[in-house]
Each structure stands twice: as structure tokens, then as C-alpha cells.
């Protein structure tokens, strides 16, 4: 192989590795939005990765489901009303992914997954 072919191959490999690192970095952050990115006038469900605020507890709702508090990556705390039961292992998890929409003072969640 000539020197110029080797240089081209090395350049392609470096560019590919840079692209791979960039993709992994930003893909891992997908779904970690803040509550500020939600439109309170929209009922479209979106995912958000949050941290459970264990100190405020988990309260069962009389209509079914549960109410609890979470904190987004900016530190904003919101009350969450989940229409289902909490997933197993929520107390031991670092984060959870909620699917739902924002209603002014609380987040209406239709799904919750432990990360």
C-alpha cells in the first residue's frame, strides 16, 4: 500500500470514530428533557427522564394510580399523577422515564419505566 492510501484509510477511521463518539454522547441524552420543553397547552405525550424525589413519598390516588414527585435535569420538581401502578424497583432506581404531558402544576403520566 502506498503512503497516501494509508493516510486516507486512517483519516476515514478517525472521522468514523469521531462520528460514533458524537452519536453515543447525544443518543444517551435523548429523553432527558426538562419540563420547560413541554407545552402546557398540548396533550401530546412525550418522554422525559427524571429522578424520583423519595423524600416527598408516594401517595395512592382514590381514583386509581399514584401521585409522587420528580426532579428533571435542571432541578425543577413537579408533582406526577400516574394513572397506573408504579413499576417494580422504582425505589432502587436512579432515574425513571415518564410518558405523558404537562398540566400547569403537575405532570399527567400514562407510563413509567425504571431505567
Return the SS3 of 87: coil
Q: What is the mean pLDDT of residues 18-33?
A: 65
Q: Are residues 39 and 14 in the same domain?
A: no
Q: Are residues 40 and 86 in the same domain?
A: yes
- C-alpha 10/C-alpha 97 separation (Å) is 40
Q: Are residues 85 and 58 in the same domain?
A: yes
Helix, strand counts (H, E) of the chain: 1, 6
Q: Are residues 26 and 39 in the same domain?
A: no
Q: Are residues 20 and 43 in the same domain?
A: no
**pTM value?**
0.69
pLDDT digits (tens, 9 = 90+) for 27-81: 544 454 788 888 888 888 888 989 999 899 889 888 888 999 999 888 899 999 9
Q: What cell does 84 get?
A: 397506573
pLDDT over threshold 70, residue 4:
yes
Q: Are residues 6 and 46 in the same domain?
A: no
- C-alpha 69/C-alpha 53 separation (Å) is 5
pLDDT score of 103: 86
Q: What's the structural domain count of the chain?
A: 2
- C-alpha 50/C-alpha 79 separation (Å) is 12
Q: Are residues 25 and 55 in the same domain?
A: no
pLDDT over threshold 90, residue 108:
yes
pLDDT score of 93: 82
Return the SS3 of 20: helix
Amino acid at each position: 500500500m502506498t503512503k497516501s492510501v494509508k493516510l486516507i484509510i486512517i483519516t476515514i477511521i478517525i472521522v468514523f470514530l469521531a462520528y460514533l463518539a458524537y452519536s453515543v454522547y447525544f443518543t444517551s441524552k435523548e429523553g432527558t428533557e426538562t419540563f420547560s420543553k413541554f407545552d402546557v397547552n398540548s396533550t401530546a405525550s412525550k418522554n422525559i427522564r427524571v429522578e424520583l424525589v423519595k423524600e416527598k413519598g408516594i401517595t395512592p390516588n382514590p381514583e386509581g394510580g399514584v401521585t409522587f414527585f420528580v426532579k428533571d435535569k435542571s432541578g425543577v420538581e413537579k408533582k406526577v399523577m400516574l394513572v397506573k401502578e408504579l413499576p417494580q424497583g422504582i425505589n432502587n432506581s436512579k432515574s425513571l422515564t415518564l410518558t405523558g404531558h404537562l398540566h400547569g402544576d403537575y405532570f399527567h403520566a400514562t407510563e413509567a419505566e425504571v431505567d
